[in-house]
Amino acid sequence: MIGDILNRTRKSQGVTAQQMADCLNVNLRSYRAYESNDRQPSFQILVKMADKLNVTTDYLLGRAHELELDRK
């Protein structure tokens, strides 16, 4: 589930997968594993993802309403 939200949010903000990987200090293959739900991010990585995309960790985890993006 996090992968779908992460992918949709990243694309809606015009951020490439490579830019996300670089921000997280991981290789592109590792980042793509997060988006495909093959791998779960650590708490530290999750926080970095949220910061980069300007959303909350709850949003990425599917615990916050999707309209949160409109409030930012």
In the chain, what are the domain boundaries? 2-66
Three state DSSP letters for the chain: CHHHHHHHHHHHCCCCHHHHHHHHCCCHHHHHHHHCCCCCCCHHHHHHHHHHHCCCHHHHCCCCCCCHHHHC
Query: What angle is formed at CA 1 by the lines to CA 35 and CA 65, rounded to 5 degrees?
Result: 115
Position 71 pLDDT exceeds 60: no
Q: pLDDT by residue (tens digit) across 27-51? A: 999 999 999 999 999 999 999 999 9
pLDDT for res 1:
82
This prediction has a pTM of 0.85
CATH says 2-66 is which class? mainly alpha
Give the mean pLDDT of 53-72: 77
Average the pLDDT over each of 3-7, 56-60, 64-68 and give the range with the smallest value: 64-68
